[in-house]
Amino acid sequence: MDLLNTLVDKGLRRETPTREEALAVLATSDDDVLDVVAAAGKVRRHWFGRRVKLNYLVNLKSGLCPEDCSYCSQRLGSKAEILKYTWLKPDQASQAAAAGLAGGAKRVCLVASGRGPTDRDVDRVSETIRTIKEQNEGVEVCACLGLLSDGQAERLRDAGADAYNHNLNTSEGTYADITTTHTYADRVDTVQKAHAAGLSACSGLIAGMGESDEDLVDVVFALRELDPDSVPVNFLIPFEGTPLAKEWHLTPQRCLRILAMVRFVCPDVEVRIAGGREVHLRSMQPLALHLANSIFLGDYLTSEGQAGKADLEMIADAGFEVEGTDQVTLPEHRAGGGCGSHGSAEGAGCGSHEGGGVCGSASVPQASEPRTDLVAVRRRGAGTDLAPNA
């Protein structure tokens, strides 16, 4: 397929595809999905070999959020029967992190629900970061605390944070349909604050919220322009008790096409399969490792994931290897240049909606068969007396 050959060549040169090419990847048929995976896999292996980076989530504060993000089980007005608890103490968070690190995780992601941290919250998380770093040599720590105020990113960096996560989630054109208590511009601003502070920026998306192909391409091109080091690709977990509980638009094949499109647009970036992979990729998860070079180990914030042991077996059976703490995730030209210095490659900085595409103009995929049996609320790990899944 000429399209795939062109995209592989561009990916190996770090050249951005056109919007039309990105849309064409999403439009390929299920009959061609293995060809798409094979092509994007060449780009993934060129920049990341067969390494898979493992990340582990610690939910520092669960539920009780004043924001109204429609996809979130922790949102204002959510009736999802999730765990609700206030801040974990630093030692509790470090103990939770240790389970994931013992399972092979290289990065710990510290997450707290809410609009954004107060200065007191930043102090609390800073102490947690220092505790985890002191007790676990070589660990990377990423914070995800919501919208940042001036100076907060610098304080987290000084405490030892390596990265900051704040997802764009969906396209600018449809953002107000998903969230009304803050704006798309607010999210962009926080990613830029993390970059400016010298933190590795982590920002991604959620697929499966009823968006069109154009919306997906819009948000991925916007991410390319923001130039994060890591792009998590979440697949909506339709929690009962949230506004998007009936949104079941994803098939395993569509998830693979989305991951391939992200890899072609962001060839040398850590692409992470995040929440919802078990729900929507299901038995096709091993194929997704040919597209993404990073996954979360074990459970998510409020839902249960695949058993950590099963994750490790899947990686080994698929012919991949867990990335060690002594290995650098990013290619040398990204890892060595510092945040924001790697946008000068040919074609970088795209995402200006050239070509006249209109957000949301394509038809929304038809709903697939709901698999509510695969949506399990987390009842173990952080915030409970039960052992975590790692």
Condensed to tens digits (0 to 9), the pLDDT of residues 110-166 reads 999 899 999 999 999 999 999 999 998 889 999 999 999 999 999 999 999 999 999
| Average pLDDT score over the chain | 89
Residue 366 is predicted with a pLDDT of 56
User: Where does the pLDDT of residue 375 fall: very low under 50, low under 70, confident under 90, or very high at 90 and above?
Assistant: confident
| Among 125, 99, 123, 100, CA closest to 112 | 125
Percentage of residues in the chain having pLDDT higher than 90: 73
Q: Which helix (H) or strand (E) holds 191?
A: helix 184-196
- pLDDT higher than threshold 60 for residue 171: yes
The pLDDT of residue 7: 98
Binding site feature residues: 65, 69, 72, 109, 142, 202, 272
What's this model's pTM, rounded to 2 decimal places? 0.88
Contact indicator for 66, 118 with CB cutoff of 8 Å: no
Hey, what CATH class is 2-325+363-374 in? alpha beta
Instruction: Check whether 384 has a pLDDT greater than 60.
Output: yes
Q: Are 36 and 260 in contact (CB under 8 A)?
A: yes
Q: Is the pLDDT of residue 355 over 80?
A: no
How would residue 343 be classed by pLDDT, with cut points 50, 70 and 90?
very low
Q: Is 144 a catalytic residue?
A: no
Binding-site residues for [4Fe-4S] cluster, please?
65, 69, 72
In the prediction, which pLDDT does 72 show? 85
- Name the active-site residue from 19, 44, 65, 224: 65
* Pick from 176-180, 240-244, 281-285, 307-311: least confident: 240-244
Mention every residue, 6+ apart, whose C-beta is less than 8 A from residue 56: 97, 99, 100, 101, 103, 105, 107, 108, 109, 296, 297, 298, 390
324 — pLDDT class (breaks 50, 70, 90):
very high
CB 47 within 8 A of CB 331: yes
The 10s digit of each residue's pLDDT in 298-309 is 888 888 889 999
- Residue 363, pLDDT score: 47
Annotated binding site for [2Fe-2S] cluster: 109, 142, 202, 272
Residue 69 designated active-site: yes
Query: Out of 14, 19, 44, 109, which one is annotated catalytic?
Result: 109
The answer to whether 202 is a known catalytic residue is: yes
- pLDDT mean over 45-55: 98
266 catalytic residue (yes or no): no
Supply the pLDDT for residue 289.
98
Q: Of 19, 44, 157, 202, which is the active-site residue?
A: 202
Q: Catalytic residue, from 72, 144, 255, 339: name it.
A: 72
Instruction: State how far the Cα of 129 lies from the Cα of 112, in Å rounded to an integer.
Output: 13
Q: Name the token pair of 119.
A: 């200065």
pLDDT confidence of residue 389: 76
More confident position, 372 or 229 = 229
- Between 357 and 315, the higher pLDDT residue: 315
How confident is the model at residue 13, as a pLDDT? 97
Q: How far apart are CA 214 and CA 338, in angstroms?
A: 31
So what's the pLDDT on residue 79?
A: 79
What pLDDT shows up at residue 378? 81
Query: How is the chain split into domains, by residue range?
Result: 2-325+363-374
Is 255 an active-site residue? no
Q: Of the listed 254, 272, 334, 378, which one is catalytic?
A: 272
Least confident range of 26-30, 34-38, 115-119, 298-302: 298-302
pLDDT of residue 267: 98
Question: Which of 92-106, 149-163, 259-273 comes out lowest in average pLDDT?
Answer: 92-106
Catalytic residue among 69, 144, 255, 266: 69
| 65: annotated active-site residue | yes
Active site residue 115: no
Residue type, 196: A
